[in-house]
A and B are shown apart, each in its own frame.
Chain A
Amino acid sequence: MQTSILEKLKINKHTGVFLILAIILVISGLYSPGFVSSSNLLIMLRQASALGILTIGQLFVIVGGGVDLSLEATLQMAIAIFMFGFNNFGQAGLMVGLGAAVFFGLLAGFVNGILVIRYHVQPFLSTLFTGSIITGIRLIWVGIDLGGDVPNFIRFFGRDRTLTIPNAAIIFSIVGLIAFVLINRSVFGRKLVAVGTNYDAAVYSGIKAGRMVILSYMISGVSAVLASVVLSGYVGFADRWIGAGMSFNSLIAAVIGGNYLGGGRGSVAGVIGGALLMTIVINFVTLLGFSHSYQHIVSGLVLILTIFIGSYAKRKKS
């Protein structure tokens, strides 16, 4: 029986994204060797870290059969909270603000989970609306500015390095590792997969399915807070644009990493690949000097090709 190239390369729906990443890096390296230097690769890893962390949070919700579109609003509110603490009460205020931001992330996730489980609101709509409400509250509270210059303590997590490795990338790796263990090697993960696969069956088998779903949203909320620290630390300035579009980007990153929005399955490796691809494709089209219109076309084609390879590999396997 003939073995396809994808099978030889052990490409499946989760690893197809890495094949595309490799192709992009080869083309970019041929065009400009500096693009694939270790320093630039680490810079790109740092750029992708906030989105990656956010997408890992999104993955927990997806595995449980939901989707979280309030992540961007939660991320922005988290920044507003700890920046408010810092701007008004200095370093101590920042620490309290970070604690309050984590609490807020948990609360936002809890509310989302309750809306989905108890009131049976479609996750797509409930999280979209809670996101809208959070944004409205933030605008009333702090207006259009999220806080301005980000303090060095936050910058440590987003910009600085330990040895030569960006701290953002280290945090991203740790979060990825924890997520991998939780989803693939823990009772919690197995229960969440069961809930996402068939909610009613999970309930009948004795799993507290509602609690699992709520927990997945709370993890997602905390991931938004963590991403807010990494992102604002990377940019160095908290303005109204920070984090814009990241809810949808995290969904896209999860899907191009081979994850299924119907729930019950989840690949942390795929999510990492998806977040990297979403970031590097912007750098790729910038490097090649495409005009803005062509940047859209090329980015779209690259992402479609990634999804195509993933689904082709899946079809071949089945």
Chain B
Amino acid sequence: MKRTIVVLIIGVLLMAACAPQAAPAAEEPAAEPAAKEKYVIGVAYEGPTNDWAAALMYHLQYSFDIKYKDQVEQVYYESADGDATKQVGQVENLLTKDIDALMLQPLSETAMVPLVEQAYDAGIPVFIFGASVLTDKYTSYIDRDNYGTGYKFATYMCESLGDEGKVVTIMGEPGSGYSENVLRGVTEGLAECPGIENLGVDYGEYSPALSKQKMETFLASNPDIGGVITDGALMAMGVLEAYVDAGLDLPYVTCDDWNGFQNVAMELDFDKYITVPGGSEASGIAADVLFEYLAGNEVDKEYIIPLQVFTGEEVQAMVPEGMPDSYWALNRIPVEYVDLYWGQ
């Protein structure tokens, strides 16, 4: 019996050794678009873990369910609930489904590298959006202009304060690529305003509670802070709360277009702020790029969404009446479909 098993194992090993070697992965694979009328798309994304991620999901749903409905045979959605480890398994799963293209909102810049490269080497066009992956083996990368956003935030403070005064910077998630890029823009922008003193850079982790606590600490030592750069309206809300509680004049603020903040700002009759789109629309633009590519057109390897800046007054005027806090004022979903996603 033992001998039979040994012979079988040797046989299997010999067969494996004699089998033709898999061709090494080509440096530049032929990720040619498959000429079809309808496509099977795999989508791996964060999932609706917060209002921003929900808006990103709505842009995906609008693109595949409505805008490009006629070109879609099937979409496999994989929602990772914000868990990068879970996303690895989900992308592996998508790659077994004979998809024509992969859309990925990576939850880790590094963990996704092998899978993105595997897909690309296998000839599957890969479209990255919302965050980057540390490889160049993808078809197109679509994202917000994070550096430009930070730079604009800094120059707004400089202009608003007349190049004189104190500011504080409250970023989102420590260590995340996009937060660090926004911060790089802020730092370089403020460097051009020698009269502005940046008292500190801290992270509010998109929490109004933590942002309020940190702002209260800054204000305890410096009640004359005239401007607060935040990269998120949830954090800006915590900042305003700290000022209101302390009975201080509200500062100049920067943030994104989350509607909860616009509602609070309107209640406070506050418009000393600018907003830039939060970037959730990147998923919709990524879908546009994907279908451009599948139609045989050339697409940019890197598509950075041109920066749009709106004053508080402008963005408040853009919000349709009765929109909930979870709405994003600068989204790219046509007005007639807004109720479908954000309707009460």
Residues of A within 8 A of B (CB): 32, 34-35, 37, 39-40, 43, 47, 143-145, 148-149, 159, 231, 234-237, 239-242, 244, 279, 282-283, 286-287, 289, 291-293
Contact among A43, A145, A239, A291 with B216 in the assembled complex (CB-CB below 8 Å) = A43
* Cα distance, A287 to B216, chains bound together (Å): 10
Contact among A148, A236, A279, A291 with B241 in the assembled complex (CB-CB below 8 Å) = A236
Whether the Cβ atoms of A35 and B260 lie closer than 8 Å is no
- Given A144-B48, A148-B260, A235-B212, the answer on whether A292 and B325 have CB atoms closer than 8 Å is no
* Cα distance, A43 to B234, chains bound together (Å): 21
Whether B277 sits at the interface, judged by CB under 8 Å, is no
Whether B245 sits at the interface, judged by CB under 8 Å, is yes
Whether the Cβ atoms of B200 and A241 lie closer than 8 Å is no
Q: A37-B220, A145-B325, A237-B241 are in contact. List 10 more A-B contacts (CB 8 A).
A: A34-B221, A35-B220, A144-B49, A144-B50, A145-B51, A149-B264, A241-B234, A282-B210, A283-B220, A286-B217
Q: Which residues of A contact B210 (CB under 8 A)?
A: 282
Whether B213 sits at the interface, judged by CB under 8 Å, is yes
Q: Which residues of A contact B174 (CB under 8 A)?
A: 292-293
Interface residues of B in 317-332 (CB under 8 A from A): 324-326
Whether B238 sits at the interface, judged by CB under 8 Å, is yes
Whether the Cβ atoms of A239 and B49 lie closer than 8 Å is no
Whether the Cβ atoms of B221 and A241 lie closer than 8 Å is no
Whether B202 sits at the interface, judged by CB under 8 Å, is yes
Q: Which residues of A contact B175 (CB under 8 A)?
A: 292
* Cα distance, A148 to B214, chains bound together (Å): 21
Q: Which residues of A contact B218 (CB under 8 A)?
A: 286
Q: Which residues of B contact A144 (CB under 8 A)?
A: 48-51, 54, 326
| 8 A-B residue pairs with CB within 8 Å | A34-B220, A35-B217, A237-B264, A239-B234, A242-B209, A244-B207, A283-B220, A286-B202
Whether the Cβ atoms of B217 and A241 lie closer than 8 Å is no
Whether the Cβ atoms of B216 and A35 lie closer than 8 Å is no
Interface residues of B in 223-244 (CB under 8 A from A): 223, 234, 237-238, 241
Whether B58 sits at the interface, judged by CB under 8 Å, is no
Whether the Cβ atoms of A237 and B237 lie closer than 8 Å is yes
* Cα distance, A282 to B139, chains bound together (Å): 43
- Given A144-B49, A149-B263, A286-B217, the answer on whether A237 and B208 have CB atoms closer than 8 Å is yes
Whether the Cβ atoms of A241 and B220 lie closer than 8 Å is no
Whether B252 sits at the interface, judged by CB under 8 Å, is no
Q: Which residues of A contact B203 (CB under 8 A)?
A: 292
Contact among A43, A149, A240 with B50 in the assembled complex (CB-CB below 8 Å) = A240
Q: Which residues of A contact B51 (CB under 8 A)?
A: 144-145, 239
Whether B206 sits at the interface, judged by CB under 8 Å, is yes
* Cα distance, A239 to B218, chains bound together (Å): 24
* Cα distance, A43 to B247, chains bound together (Å): 13
* Cα distance, A34 to B222, chains bound together (Å): 8
* Cα distance, A116 to B267, chains bound together (Å): 48
- Given A145-B51, A149-B264, A292-B202, the answer on whether A235 and B221 have CB atoms closer than 8 Å is no
- Given A145-B325, A241-B207, the answer on whether A43 and B220 have CB atoms closer than 8 Å is yes
Q: Which residues of A contact B206 (CB under 8 A)?
A: 241
Q: Which residues of B contact A292 (CB under 8 A)?
A: 174-175, 202-203
Count residues of B near A (Cβ-Cβ below 8 Å).
39
- Given A47-B216, A286-B214, the answer on whether A239 and B221 have CB atoms closer than 8 Å is no
- Report which residue of A235, A244, A289 has the largest number of chain B beta carbons within 10 angstroms of its beta carbon: A235
* Cα distance, A283 to B221, chains bound together (Å): 11
Q: Which residues of A contact B217 (CB under 8 A)?
A: 35, 282-283, 286-287
Residues of B within 8 A of A (CB): 48-51, 54, 174-175, 199-203, 205-210, 212-214, 216-218, 220-223, 234, 237-238, 241, 245, 260, 263-264, 324-326
- Given A145-B51, A282-B214, the answer on whether A40 and B220 have CB atoms closer than 8 Å is yes
Q: Which residues of A contact B221 (CB under 8 A)?
A: 32, 34-35, 287
CB distance from A83 to the nearest CB of B (A): 12
* Cα distance, A241 to B174, chains bound together (Å): 16
CB distance from A235 to the nearest CB of B (A): 5
Q: Which residues of B contact A32 (CB under 8 A)?
A: 220-221
CB distance from A51 to the nearest CB of B (A): 11
* 4 tightest Cβ-Cβ pairs between the two chains A and B: A32-B221, A40-B220, A292-B174, A283-B217
CB distance from B303 to the nearest CB of A (A): 28
* Cα distance, A286 to B324, chains bound together (Å): 33
Q: Which residues of B contact A37 (CB under 8 A)?
A: 220
CB distance from B14 to the nearest CB of A (A): 50
Contact among A159, A239, A279 with B260 in the assembled complex (CB-CB below 8 Å) = A239
Q: Which residues of B contact A283 (CB under 8 A)?
A: 213-214, 216-217, 220
Contact among A35, A149, A235 with B238 in the assembled complex (CB-CB below 8 Å) = A235
Q: Which residues of A contact B200 (CB under 8 A)?
A: 286, 289
Q: Which residues of B contact A235 (CB under 8 A)?
A: 208-209, 212, 238, 241
* Cα distance, A43 to B246, chains bound together (Å): 9
* Cα distance, A292 to B210, chains bound together (Å): 14
Whether the Cβ atoms of A236 and B216 lie closer than 8 Å is no
* Cα distance, A236 to B234, chains bound together (Å): 11
* Cα distance, A47 to B218, chains bound together (Å): 14
CB distance from A130 to the nearest CB of B (A): 19
Q: Which residue of B lies closest to A283 (CB)?
A: B217
Whether the Cβ atoms of B245 and A159 lie closer than 8 Å is yes
Contact among B49, B201, B213, B326 with A282 in the assembled complex (CB-CB below 8 Å) = B213
* Cα distance, A35 to B207, chains bound together (Å): 23
* Cα distance, A287 to B217, chains bound together (Å): 6
Q: Which residues of A contact B216 (CB under 8 A)?
A: 40, 43, 47, 283
Q: Which residues of B contact A240 (CB under 8 A)?
A: 49-50
CB distance from A277 to the nearest CB of B (A): 14
Q: Which residue of B lies closest to A292 (CB)?
A: B174
Q: Which residue of A lies closest to B209 (CB)?
A: A235
- Report which residue of A43, A239, A289 has the largest number of chain B beta carbons within 10 angstroms of its beta carbon: A239
Q: Which residues of B contact A237 (CB under 8 A)?
A: 208, 237, 241, 260, 264
- Report which residue of B203, B217, B237 has the largest number of chain A beta carbons within 10 angstroms of its beta carbon: B217
